[in-house]
Amino acid sequence: MARTRRDILRASAHGFGGLALQGLLAREGQAAPRINPLAPKKPHFPSKVKSVIFLFMVGGPGQMDTFDPKPALAKYAGQKLPDGIQKASSQFTKGDEPILPTPWRFKQYGQSGMWVSDLMPHLSDCVDDLCFVRTFATDSVVHAPAMYHVHSGRILMGYPSLGSWVTYGLGSESDNLPAYVVMPQPEGTPEGGTPTWGAGFLPAVNQGTVFRSGPNPIMHLKPPAGVTPAQQRRTLDLLQKMNELDTAELDTDLAARISAYELAFKMQSSAPEAVDFSKESEATRKLYGLDQARTREFGSRLLLARRLVERGVRFIQVYSGGGPVSIQWDAHKDLKDNHEKMCGLTDQPIAALLKDLKARGLLDSTLVIWGSEFGRLPTSQSGNGRDHNPHAFTMWFAGGGVRGGQAIGDSDEFGLYPASERYTMRDFHATILRLIGLDQHQLWYLHNGRHEKLTDFGGKVIEKVLA
């Protein structure tokens, strides 16, 4: 029986990384309609932003412990919320628990006078570049649905992630690396799991590709022993020639798979080069905290994020937290120990990333986002912890198109509910799309007879964020 091109592709897949290359290999029936589905596309609006780095703090940092000072917590410490204040039940508490003051002091920093707690002494140096939004809200008190909401705009899994929409809308500037790179916590994935960076109903080529630490960042990328680059090159050339001989209408599935294999072939050299820090200066290594055991791991991932930006990667997702609860921001008890540990791991590297991008002239072309699936309640759990608060929590933006040195929105005196305008995840996504030059209403994908969009029925661009 004659072998078809599809048979050959299936048989040779293992030699180019196999199906483990999640973000690179297009699944059957989901290929994009172009030879290069990740070719760069023009934005809808003028934008300087070429890359996005999303720093996601898994578990929910306390907004009143980091960027949203609430003196009333000390005034009412140990008491229940005053009469007339709407209470909020959460996953494990009913809302009638005593108020827990923050263990940390707040100070104003920079020319803008932004408030930051002493949990983050390094990031406080960068506040004039940061735009805080204090009244974001998600629709779930449970980790996984809330993570899906932040990443995809829905509380259910199976919808395209933000990074997938961005790469679908803009393609990639890199010919040798994935458009969408994900760097989870080495100890494990976030509670939402791999769907948080999945492509959903978008072409699979738009899903995130996981980078791991070490000289071989992508699993199963290396060819089997005995298979040379020359042999790989000849196989790809043969497949391409066979495809060109087909006089029927272009098989877009095969075209996309060939394109994916081409990229996997190129990455065998380019991916290890991207994670090679040998040419980075000692000063840069020290800036990111690579000389310290506490900051070395997260600092290495953020240094890699900067290197990927330099190499044209469009969207980079970096998770702080994942796996065991001990390595997450989920402080149901021992708030002080938890947040001091997590800030100790991340504060210096995050500040280093911002300073490094700025020094290299890359911050104007890079959008940096910091956030989580929700914040925390002002009341106590277990006497010294906080439960989840999806009603009003803080995220911040920095970089291209962002007006830094400001705080948008006010939560109430306890940091429980918005005291000014409430911003939804649709608003969050609409604002990000606008910053990178995409119109939320023009970015759509036909699925099951419906024009699906990241913001669904539409979000409101937070105009104050824009420079």
Q: How far apart are CA 182 and CA 217, in angstroms?
A: 11
Domain boundaries, the chain: 31-214+275-465
Question: Across the chain, what does the average pLDDT equal?
Answer: 87
| Residues 424-433, mean pLDDT to the nearest whole number | 98
Q: Which position has the higher pLDDT, 186 or 234? A: 186
Predicted local distance difference test score (pLDDT) of residue 260 = 55
The Cβ of residue 31 has, within 10 Å, a number of other Cβ atoms equal to 23
For 31-214+275-465, CATH number out of 1.10.8.190, 3.10.250.10, 3.40.720.10, 3.50.50.60 equals 3.40.720.10
Write out pLDDT tens, residues 285-298.
999 999 999 999 99
Report CA Rg, the chain: 23
Q: Mean of the pLDDT values across residues 300-318?
A: 97
Give the three-state DSSP class for 210. Answer: strand
The arithmetic mean of pLDDT across residues 267-295, rounded, is 88
User: Given pLDDT bands bounded at 50, 70 and 90, which one contains residue 258?
Assistant: low
C-alpha 210, offset from chain centre = 12
pLDDT of residue 211: 87
* Burial status of residue 86 (CB atoms within 10 A of its CB: 0-12, 13-18, 19 or more): exposed
Q: What would the pLDDT profile of 348-380 be if each residue is shown by its tens digit?
A: 999 999 999 999 999 999 999 999 999 999 999
pLDDT of residue 41: 95
Encoded tokens for 62: 């306390």
Here the tokens at position 110 are: 């920079």
In this prediction, residues 434-455 reach a mean pLDDT of: 96
Q: How confident is the model at residue 20 (pLDDT cuts 50, 70, 90)?
A: very low
The residue among 301, 278, 407, 276 whose CA lies nearest residue 353 is 301
d(CA 21, CA 263): 11
| Cα distance between residue 271 and residue 285, in whole Å | 20
Q: How confident is the model at residue 251 (pLDDT cuts 50, 70, 90)?
A: very low
Mean pLDDT of 267-275: 70
User: Confidence band (pLDDT; 50, 70, 90) for 270?
Assistant: low
Mean pLDDT value across residues 15-20: 38
Rounded Cα distance, 85 and 82, in Å: 6
pLDDT attached to residue 34:
43
Question: CB of 380 within 8 A of CB of 100?
Answer: yes
pLDDT digits (tens, 9 = 90+) for 329-344: 999 999 999 999 999 9
**Exposure class string for 92-127: b at 16+ Cβ within 10 A, else e:** ebebebebbbbebebeebbeeebbbbebbebbbebb
Task: List the one residue out of 241, 240, 307 whose CA is nearest residue 273.
Answer: 307
Side-chain-side CA neighbours of 229 within 13 Å: the count stands at 6
**In angstroms, how far is the first alpha carbon of the chain from the final one?**
63
pLDDT of residue 359: 98
pTM of the model: 0.86
% the chain with pLDDT above 70: 80
The beta strand positions in 7-147, using DSSP E, are 51-57, 106-109, 114-117, 130-136
Q: Could you please report the per-residue DSSP string of 119-172? A: T-TTGGGGGGGEEEEEEE--S-SSHHHHHHHHHHSSSSSSSPPHHHHHHHHH--
Q: Regarding predicted confidence, which is higher, 122 or 211?
A: 122
Q: Find the mean pLDDT for residues 87-115.
A: 95
The per-residue DSSP string of 377-433 comes to: -SB-BTTTB--EE-SSEEEEEEETTB--SEEE--B-TTSSSBSS--B-HHHHHHHHH
pLDDT band for position 84 (cuts 50, 70, 90): confident
Looking at per-residue confidence, does 266 or 344 come out higher? 344
Q: What is the mean pLDDT of residues 146-156?
A: 97
pLDDT at 420 over 90: yes
CA dihedral (394, 397, 403, 405) positive or negative: positive
